[in-house]
Amino acid sequence: MKIVVLVKQVPDTAADKRLDPDTLTVDRDAVDGLINEMDEFAIEEALQLIEKHGGEVTVVSMGPEDATDAYKKALQMGADKAVFLTDPALAGSDALATSYALAQVLRTLEFDLVILGSEASDARTSLVPALLAERLELPQLSFASKVEIEGGAIKINRLTDYGHDVVEAALPAVVSVVEKINEPRYPSFKGIMAAKKKPVETLDLAGASIDAALVGQGGSRSKVLDAAVAPPRSKGVIITDEGNGGADLVEFLAAKKFV
């Protein structure tokens, strides 16, 4: 089977992120980029499915020209090849515009399954899996904590607030995974060396038949009006427990009328 895994390069979560005051987009120069953590679970799931059912894994990523770490990591883990969509015109795309661009790339590929992480650590909208399913008219199997494929059918456990739903669909389908699904492997030395020789196809807008009017800030259907750093929280009271810490805590809660 043919599996496409979508990965995104994101600013390091631990870094201090901010919006560029002029462009009102993420100031990517200010922090190091790396693969979105959740995407490693998507790659791992694809690799495990291939190990079981045979086939190949193509990793697709979209981002600024230098955002190559994410798909390289996927190749090092074991994906067979990469498609990298990069074009200055894509900068500032919102989730809707991003999903359009990715859908256009997917239309150029053959696949039985698209797998992606259920959330990117930067914007955290969790929208793209549902948007891709809508655009490509494919089954939406999002928030999967378990995936089973048999014949042409796929069954997942979809995590919900109350537990999970068991959901079934015919392939091809769009699956997004949560981090409970597996343990992503570390790239081996051999994997790292092999990745350097794996094919990478770089596409621009024209290469993926993307209409420039539908991407970037101009093609987005929402815009950021202003951005500000949130005021810091006022410094709190910190005590050391010397036997009465619990009671002192309740005293504070009572003063705040929580007790």
Of the listed pieces 77-85, 104-112, 202-210, 242-250, which binds another protein according to CB under 8 A? 242-250
Question: Does residue number 123 form part of the binding site for another protein (CB under 8 A)?
Answer: yes
What is d(CA 147, CA 181) in angstroms, rounded to the nearest whole number? 8
Is there binding between residue 34 and another protein (CB under 8 A)? no
CB of 61 closer than 8 Å to CB of 72: no
What is the separation of C-alpha 83 from the centre of its chain, rounded to a whole number of angstroms? 16
Using the minimum distance from each CB to another protein, give the nearer residue, 206 or 213.
213
**Total residues at interface with another protein (CB under 8 A):** 88
Query: How do strand 9-11 and strand 33-35 relate by DSSP bridges?
Result: antiparallel
User: Residue type at 85?
Assistant: L
Does 137 bind another protein (CB under 8 A)? Our answer is: yes
**Nearer residue to another protein within complex by CB, 82 or 158:** 158
If the CB atoms of residues 206 and 225 are measured against another protein, the closer one turns out to be 225
User: Is the Cβ of residue 51 or residue 134 nearer to another protein in the bound state?
Assistant: 134
| Residue of 34, 89, 91, 127 that binds another protein (CB under 8 A) | 127
Give the binding range for another protein (CB under 8 A) out of 105-113, 189-197, 200-208, 246-254.
Answer: 246-254
* Rounded-to-integer distance, Cα 60 and Cα 57, Å: 10
Among 3, 133, 195, 205, binds another protein (CB under 8 A): 133
Residue 87's contacts (CB-CB under 8 Å, 6 or more residues apart) are 204, 205, 210
In the list 22, 151, 197, 225, the residue contacting another protein (rule: CB under 8 A) is 225
The number of CA neighbours under 13 Å toward the Cβ of 226 is 3
Q: How far apart are CA 193 and CA 99, in angstroms?
A: 32
Region for residue 116 given its phi and psi (left: phi exceeds 0; alpha: psi -120 to 50; beta: otherwise)? beta
- Per-residue x/- marks for another protein, 155-194, CB under 8 A? x-xxxxxxxxxxxxxx--x----xxx--------------
- Contact status: 206 vs another protein (CB under 8 A): no
| Residue showing tokens 């955002």 | 67
CB of 111 to another protein, least distance (A): 16
Under the criterion CB under 8 A, does residue 238 sit at the interface with another protein?
yes
List the x/- string, 86-105, binding to another protein by CB under 8 A.
--------xxx--x------
Residue burial 112-123, b: 16+ Cβ < 10 Å; e: rest? bbbbbbbbbbbe
